[in-house]
Structure 1
C-alpha cells in the first residue's frame, strides 16, 4: 500500500511540475503533454484543438484511449478513457491509431484493435460513436468494419477523410500495403467504387504504415511512415495527387529523427488553423536514451510549403510551436 501511495504521489508531483513549466513557457514545448503516447491524430472542433493518440504500452495494456484538448496549442487538458475495450465486445488488446471525424452532430472514432495476424483472428478496424469529442465513445457497429487482409494490408492505422464532394474515404494498412475504401453514409460498411472494386490498393513507394490525407489548393497530399517504428529509421514521406485515390508517386521524406533531439520520429497527422492558415504537423518520437520501443511521446512542429506547393523538410525541436488561438 505504501508503494502504491508513493507512486501516486510521484505521478501527481511530475504532472504538477509539467503544468508549472507549461504555464511559464511561450511555446508548446515537445512533448506537448506528459505520458507515453504515439500515433497522434489532430482535429479541430469549434475553437479547440484536439489530439487523439495511441496509449503507447505493451499490447495487452492498450485497452483504452485518452484524448487531449487545447485552446492555444500550449496548455492541454487530458480527457481519460474516452474509449475502453469493455465497451467494444470484440476488442481485447492493441487499440491503436484513432482517427476522428464529426458528422451530423456526432463524433465517429475509427480505431484498430487486436493486431490480427491472419484472417482467422478476430479484430481489425472498428468504429465508435459519441455525442461529444471527449466521449465516452461506444461501439457503432458491434463488430469490426474491416476484419480481413485485402491486398496484403493488415487492417490497422486507419484515417478517415472527408472529400470536397462530401464522400468519406478510409485509408488504412500495415505490412507495407495501403488500401482506400469508400464508406457508407452511416459508417457501418464499405461501398464499391464506380469500377466495382471495393478495396483499392494505393501503396506508394517505401510505404510501411500510418497513412494520412489532407487537401491544399485543390491537391491531395498523401502522407505515410517508412521504416520500423521501434527503431531510429522511422520517417514521414509524402506524395501529391489530383484525386483521392491517386496515383500517389512518392516525392520525398519530410520528417525524420535528429540524434541531438530525439529518435524514431514518425506516424503523423496535420492540422491547419483556419484563421492564420498556418499548418502544424503532429507526430511521435522517442526521447534520447530510451530503449523501450513503447516509450514514445507526442510532439508538434510548424509545417511550411515552398512556392511550388512542396512540403519543406520539418526540423524537430524541443521548443515546438508558439501559441495559436482559433
Structure 2
C-alpha cells in the first residue's frame, strides 16, 4: 500500500466512522457499510484469525488463532444459534506442552479440526513453527496429544519453508489427507500433501509437493461433484494484498491448475474489506459458505499492530468454477441459524473519555463487532456509563471486550438520577466473552469503573 493510497483510505474511513457514530443516516446499505448498526460481520466479538469450524450435536464450534499473532493457547468460540458466541480456551495445545527440541519461537496458530472415520475429533495445529496433532471425543475437549509428545511435522522437515497451517481433509470414502506449508518472509510458499493412515497420526506413503500457482499459505481442500478444489491464501496478511485463490485437480494430489488468473476473495476498498484470507469452507444443506479473517477496522492501524476479525460469506460453485465471493458486512442467511444476535434494549452510552472519534462510547452499543469504545490509553482509570432512559429493574448485563484474553478489573455502580451512586457488589476481575455484569436492582444509570481503559466492543442489557 502506498502512502498516498493509505492516507486517502484512512481519511475516508475516519469520515464514515464519525458520521456513523454520531447517529447520521448511513450512506449505504448494511452490505456496504462497515459501521451500520446490527451488521453481522464480523461474526465473532473479538480479534482472531485462521478459523476452523465444526458443527456437532446442534452446536457450532469455531477454533481460532488469538490475535495479535497467537498466544499460549488457542481460542474457541461456541454457539447454538451461530450468532451469540461464548469464548473459552481448549486445554490443549499450549505453547509449553507442544514443544520439542526443534521447535521455533512462534505461538499457537492455525487450528484445523475434523471428525475422523472413528468418530473422534482430530486437531492439526501449528505450535513453535511445527505441526502437532491432538485428539478428543468432543470438539470442546478435553484434548490430548495424539503423537507421543512429538510434532507430526518438525520445523526442519523441509528446510527453507515454513511448516505451518496444516489442514485435514476427509474424502468421501473416509480417507484422510493432510495439507500444509508456507514460505518465509512472505515469499516462496510451498504446499505439501500426504495421505494419512487410519490412526490419523502416521503418513501413508510419500509426501507430495502440490503447490499451485499463487500459493503462499493456508490450504483448504474442497471436493464438489468429483472435483478437488485446492483453495489457499496468497499475499501478505499485514498488507492489503492478502487474498484467497483456488486451483482444480482430479485427485487429492492434483496436479492442480488455475482455471483463471483472478482471486476468489480479495480486498474490496469500496466496501472497506481489507485482506481477507486463511479460510475454511463449510456446507449447510446444499449451500456452501466461506469463513475467513480480514483486517479489523480502522486499517492501517498505528505502528505495526495487526488485528484481524472473523467473517462469513456465501460461496457459490458452478461446475469446475468457484465463483468470486462478494464480501459483505451484513453476512449471509444460513438455514437453521438465527438471523441476528439476541437483541438488547436500547441504552445511551457515555464514557469518561475516548481515544479518538472512531472509538466513542456509542460504538459499544450499536450491535456491530467492527466498532467499540476505547478510552484514553494513558488514563489510569476510566468509566463507561449506560442510561436506560427511566428508573426500573436492571437485570444482568453482558460485556464483550475487544481483547478476550485481557483480565478486566472494574466495579459496578448504579444510580436513579446520575448524581448519587451506589456500588453493586465487590470489585470484579474477569476475562473472556461475554462477561456477566451483576443485576443492578432498581436504577436508571449503570456505570462501570475500570482500571485502565480497556476496549469494549459491546455492552448489552436485557
Q: Please state which band the TM-score falls in when normalised by the shorter chain.
A: 0.7 to 0.9
Given the alignment of the two structures, is residue 108 of structure 1 paired with residue 118 of structure 2, yes or no?
Answer: no
Structure with bigger RCO (C-alpha 8 Å, 6+ apart): 1
* CA positional deviation for 1:174: 0.4
* CA positional deviation for 1:43: 2.3
- Select the residue among 322, 333, 336 that pairs with 1:322: 333
Question: CA 1:165–1:305 in structure 2 vs 1: closer, same or farther (change >3 Å)?
Answer: closer
- Report if aligned partners of 1:96, 1:111 keep a CA contact under 8 Å in 2: yes
Structure 1 unaligned runs (5+)?
1-24, 116-123, 193-197
- Report if aligned partners of 1:71, 1:325 keep a CA contact under 8 Å in 2: no
1:221 match: secondary structure: strand
Question: CA 1:324–1:74 in structure 2 vs 1: closer, same or farther (change >3 Å)?
Answer: farther
- Select the residue among 156, 168, 184 that pairs with 2:197: 184
- Select the residue among 123, 132, 137 that pairs with 1:131: 137
1:248 match: secondary structure: coil
Question: CA 1:27–1:131 in structure 2 vs 1: closer, same or farther (change >3 Å)?
Answer: farther
More displaced 10-residue stretch of structure 1: 42-51 or 253-262: 42-51
Question: CA 1:154–1:179 in structure 2 vs 1: closer, same or farther (change >3 Å)?
Answer: same
- CA–CA distance in structure 1, aligned partners of residues 123 and 182 of structure 2: 19
Q: Residue 258 of structure 1 aligns with which residue?
A: 268
- Select the residue among 195, 208, 219 that pairs with 2:227: 219
Question: CA 1:321–1:74 in structure 2 vs 1: closer, same or farther (change >3 Å)?
Answer: farther
- Report if aligned partners of 1:279, 1:304 keep a CA contact under 8 Å in 2: yes
- CA–CA distance in structure 2, aligned partners of residues 55 and 81 of structure 1: 12
What does 1:140-179 align with in structure 2 at a 5 Å threshold?
140-141=146-147, 142-147=149-154, 148-150=156-158, 152-175=160-183, 176-179=189-192
The number of residues matched between the two structures is 284
2:321 match: secondary structure: coil
- Report if aligned partners of 1:28, 1:322 keep a CA contact under 8 Å in 2: no
Structure 2 unaligned runs (5+)?
1-35, 184-188, 338-462
* CA positional deviation for 1:206: 1.3
- Report if aligned partners of 1:73, 1:322 keep a CA contact under 8 Å in 2: no
- CA–CA distance in structure 2, aligned partners of residues 153 and 63 of structure 1: 23
Deviations 1:70-103 (A, max 9, x none): 3333222323234333443447642111001123
- Select the residue among 294, 298, 303 that pairs with 1:289: 298
Structure 1 moving runs of 4+ over 6 Å: 25-28
What does 1:63-74 align with in structure 2 at a 5 Å threshold?
63-74=72-83
Q: Residue 200 of structure 1 aligns with which residue?
A: 208
* CA positional deviation for 1:159: 0.4
Q: Residue 8 of structure 1 aligns with which residue?
A: none
Q: Structure 1 length normalisation: TM-score?
A: 0.81
Question: CA 1:134–1:27 in structure 2 vs 1: closer, same or farther (change >3 Å)?
Answer: farther
